[in-house]
Amino acid sequence: MEVRRIAGALGAEVLGVDLSRSFSAETIRQAFLEHQVIFFREQALDPAQFMAFARAMGKPIEYPFVKGIAGFPEVIEVKKLEHEKHNFGGIWHSDTAYLDEPPMGSMLLAREVPPHGGDTLFANQYLAYESLSAGMKSLLSGLRAVNASSKANVTRTREDRIKEQGGSGKEYEAEHPVVRTHPETGRKALYVNTGHTVRFAGMTDEESAPLLEFLFQHQIRPEFTCRFSWRVGSLAFWDNRCTQHNPVNDYHGHRRVMHRITLAGDRPR
């Protein structure tokens, strides 16, 4: 098995492994923690095999807004059809930061891909924090942020999926530190995102907006990112505690179908 970096900031391809057969969970987990997002190619996994890999990496959980596929409640279908204009999660975000215990990580497996486009961008939130000035780090150290499921700019898409698939219509809100410490690496990461963060705790939306807007722009600077182009059978596994991602919506008129599994996390500290 070979681990090959794809960018300076984060991301690596894991080569020479068939996840439907035996693999070293420890080695893959080490690559995951080191590179924050890892990618596999040509993984012809059925849902049971996909679930088996997920269980080797963590605890699969059900997604709060979308019903799972038949027989596998933890596997959701993420799709954009030919006639649709909005894609699922089409904004920079950290998955479900509005939960009290946001997920440790997520896995996405490509089932159908467009002839071009549909890439996913990832951003390193360790670097986003570490590149801040000492004064800004001091300011952020005591702040907490309010994250709400109602804020997402992709609400229409999410609500469409609720209606189509019978998911929960409940709204969620959670307060987390603006700078979180990764429970496994001990490194600090910026933990706000434009998709879900509404304001700082104890402040109004208007008071919070200028600083939040700076952070939202800062944390996705090009030098903090990598870009992944999908093929059928490609699998991405990212660390939700120290990355953000953004699926690029540039393939109108074409179909894109993915399967996703979310892995349980803990309360950010």
The residues assigned a catalytic role are 93, 95, 245, 260
C-alpha–C-alpha distance, residues 184 and 73, integer Å: 28
Residue 263, burial from CB neighbour count under 10 angstroms (0-12, 13-18, 19+): buried
Give phi and psi for 33, each to the nearest 5. Answer: -70, -35
User: Measuring CA to CA, which residue among 248, 151, 162, 249 is closest to residue 195?
Assistant: 151
Cα 145–chain centre separation? 18
C-alpha–C-alpha distance, residues 229 and 122, integer Å: 12
* Sign, Cα dihedral of 13, 15, 18, 23: negative
C-alpha–C-alpha distance, residues 268 and 252, integer Å: 37
Amino acid at 236: A
User: CA 71 → CA 48, 68, 75, 76, 260, distances in Å?
Assistant: 9, 8, 9, 11, 14
